[in-house]
Amino acid sequence: MSFVLPVLKYSYEDLQPAISREIMELHHLKHHKAYVDKLNRALEKYPEYSDWTIVELLSRLDQLPQDVQQTVRDQGGGHYNHSLFWQCMTPGGTILDSSEFYNAIVRKFGSVERFVEDFTTQARSLFGSGWVWLTNDVDIVTSANQDNPIMSGDQEPLMGLDVWEHAYYLDYQNKRDDYIQAWWGVVDWEFVTKRYDTSHSNR
Ligand code: MN
């Protein structure tokens, strides 16, 4: 089994004006596709890992042959991270309704607004290329490059924001703040809420 580029649940132009069709096309068809292809190529010579899921690969990097560990980390991380990123967005966004997830956010941050503020601050101040995550433990964490919380422990990301320049430069140039603000308008809270519920019912 090899990994495949996931189909999006919306069209490339549907997230406009927050994210342009041009960025979505490049980001999905070129950047994400390249992560998938390079991951598959790296694992070709090790068929014994062909039934490992992407989560298994990323959470057990140290069990892989040394010569592919970094490639699986970078390219596999890129595949997982982007697959989640696309799902965290939907045209026009959805509402964060009262739910167990909503309550967990309020317990941790005081309010949804405060959570959004904290997440935004982390996204603005992350140096270089990387991601900002909300984990299933309702923590905000950042990671460099294509790393993610699966690699560093038992936390699973519920949502992630790509702050690599390729995610926004065509539309926003150096104005990362404007990209982050626009992104909040396309967040699919229903998806994130379901992910929280799934993660917590499995415990
Ligand atoms: Mn990206």
Which residues make up the environment of ion ligand 1, defined by Cβ < 5 Å?
162, 164, 167
For ligand 1, the distance from its centroid to the CA atom of residue 166, given in whole angstroms, is 6
Q: Cα separation of 73 and 39, whole Å?
A: 9
Amino acid at 43: L
Calculate mean pLDDT across residues 20-34.
Answer: 98
For ligand 1, the distance from its centroid to the CA atom of residue 98, given in whole angstroms, is 31
**Is the pLDDT assigned to residue 203 strictly greater than 70?**
no
Question: For residue 155, which of 142, 140, 136, 128 has the smallest C-alpha distance?
Answer: 136
For ligand 1, the distance from its centroid to the CA atom of residue 78, given in whole angstroms, is 7
For ligand 1, the distance from its centroid to the CA atom of residue 85, given in whole angstroms, is 9
For ligand 1, the distance from its centroid to the CA atom of residue 103, given in whole angstroms, is 30
- CB burial readout 73-110, b (16+ within 10 A) else e: bbbbbbbbbbbbbbbbbbbebbebeeeebeebbeeebe
pTM, rounded to two decimals: 0.96
The phi, psi pair for 6, rounded to 5°, reads -70, 150
Joined together, the tokens standing for residue 75 give: 């390219």
For ligand 1, the distance from its centroid to the CA atom of residue 23, given in whole angstroms, is 10
Q: pLDDT by residue (tens digit) across 46-99?
A: 999 999 999 999 999 999 999 999 999 999 999 999 999 999 999 999 999 999
For ligand 1, the distance from its centroid to the CA atom of residue 156, given in whole angstroms, is 19
Calculate mean pLDDT across residues 95-106.
Answer: 96
**Is the pLDDT assigned to residue 25 strictly greater than 80?**
yes
Q: pLDDT by residue (tens digit) across 163-183?
A: 999 999 999 999 999 999 999
pLDDT at 153: 80
Joined together, the tokens standing for residue 141 give: 């964490």
For ligand 1, the distance from its centroid to the CA atom of residue 129, given in whole angstroms, is 9
Q: Cα separation of 37 and 18, whole Å?
A: 28
> Per DSSP, which regions of 67-197 are E strands?
130-135, 140-144, 157-162
Residue 202 pLDDT grade (very low, low, confident, very high; cuts 50, 70, 90): low
For ligand 1, the distance from its centroid to the CA atom of residue 27, given in whole angstroms, is 6
pLDDT at 152: 85
Q: Cα separation of 87 and 105, whole Å?
A: 20
Q: Cα separation of 113 and 196, whole Å?
A: 19
> 96-105, 117-126, 150-159: which range is least confident on average?
150-159
Q: Cα separation of 25 and 109, whole Å?
A: 35
